[in-house]
Amino acid sequence: MNLLIKNVNIVDCCENFYGDIYIEDGKIKEIGQNICKDCSILDGKSYKLLPSFIELHSHFRDPGFTYKEDIYSGSRAALKGGYTAVNLMANTNPVCSDKEVLHYVLKKAKDNNLIDIHQCLSITKNMEGKSIDHLDDIKEEDNIRFISEDGKGVLSSKIMLEAMIKAKKKNITIICHEENPELSEISMRLAENIMTLRDIELSKCSGCRLHIAHVSTEESMKYIIDAKNEGANITCEVTPHHIALTEETYYRVNPPLRKEKDRQFLIEAIKKGYVDAIATDHAPHSKEDKIQGAPGLIGLQTSFMVCYTKLVKEGHISINKLSEMMSYNPGKIMGLNKGRISIGYDGDVILVDTDTEYEMKEEYIVSKSHNTPFIGFKGFGKVMATIRGGEILYREEGI
């Protein structure tokens, strides 16, 4: 698929200039000005062209909970939000602990052929916290980049250390949901902080690459900062909702929305370069599930608007820095040839309108679930078109 995008403000983690970009056979082939090609042409108008976003942390609920979301609806939501690659968590039904479930997900992703999908395996068999024997079956050709127990933490320190040792041998990163279940009913803050510190120390001991999911407290981020300053093999993510909201919003997520001091500390950590990625923790639930107390929110369609508004428009960081955290760094962590607008990279790019204020409305949502506190949120940064490998897979009317 060949495509020429003209007259556009090209922005990535390093660049910010006006010009044209030519995508040939799915790859970025040429960048410059006044490029002429005999192919499909897209006028960039007054928009910005960014690398597509890469999501390290999502739940598409397939298999087992497809009334909440499935591979197709989740992929459509990703495209509308500017994402062309996502990493899915293992807490499906059955749990993704074996290759049968893994191949089911990857086949559906291939059949839909909308976005690139990576599926995590669970750290422990069936997420029961007892056995890690299933990890022995992982072969290099399976291309498993991550294992994760997201949804809860692994209580046993011994089992977690053993899992990290195996992961290091297989060149796999562990994504940790930092929550000690023994402390959850006492203090969710303490549950996150204690588990974060433990897993950092286990990572240092084992040498395993550790990616810490949805950091939400000041204390946990301080532990991560200290470890990074010591050279630990650790990356971390924060979510748009922990950047934008506080406990005063009264919306149930896990980890919970925190205090204003936590939100401000996360932003300071972003500004100082300690946060590697923005990840949504896209967690669809039905209306009935939310009424019954299920934690989580959908985030793929709102993430850029929320982050651009709260981080860039409010003057905390540049759009280049935001692109680094939403595209370049996640691509690097996932080992993808995406995340920059540079010759040889995949032709996965998006057009965004950062000049017009936009209100998120429920009727715009294409996920099966509508659980988000951002309905009614007004901000800047609307995704106007999403292009994967030079093919326009989503576009707003008039593009």
Domains in the chain: boundaries = 3-49+347-395, 52-334
d(CA 198, CA 56): 22
The CATH number given to 52-334 is: 3.20.20.140
Closest CA to 89 of 150, 130, 28, 32: 150
Q: Which two tokens stand for residue 173?
A: 């990163």
pLDDT at 190: 98
Strand pairing category for 48-51 and 349-359: antiparallel
Q: Which two tokens stand for residue 119?
A: 């599926």
- Return per-residue pLDDT of the chain as tens, 399 residues: 799 999 999 999 999 999 999 999 999 999 999 999 999 999 998 899 999 999 999 999 999 999 999 999 999 999 999 999 999 999 999 999 999 999 999 999 999 999 999 999 999 999 999 999 999 999 989 999 999 999 999 999 999 999 999 999 999 999 999 999 999 999 999 999 999 999 999 999 999 999 999 999 999 999 999 999 999 999 999 999 999 999 999 999 999 999 999 999 999 999 999 999 999 999 999 999 999 999 999 999 999 999 999 999 999 999 999 999 999 999 999 999 999 999 999 999 999 999 999 999 999 999 999 999 999 999 999 999 999 999 999 999 888
d(CA 152, CA 174): 13
β partners of residue 359:
378
Closest CA to 280 of 306, 262, 260: 306
DSSP 374: T
> Would you please indicate which residues are annotated as catalytic (active-site) residues?
281
Please report which helix (H) or strand (E) contains residue 41, including its range: strand 40-43
The topology under which CATH files domain 3-49+347-395 is: Urease, subunit C; domain 1 (2.30.40)
Closest CA to 9 of 350, 396, 398: 350
β partners of residue 378:
359
Residue type, 59: H
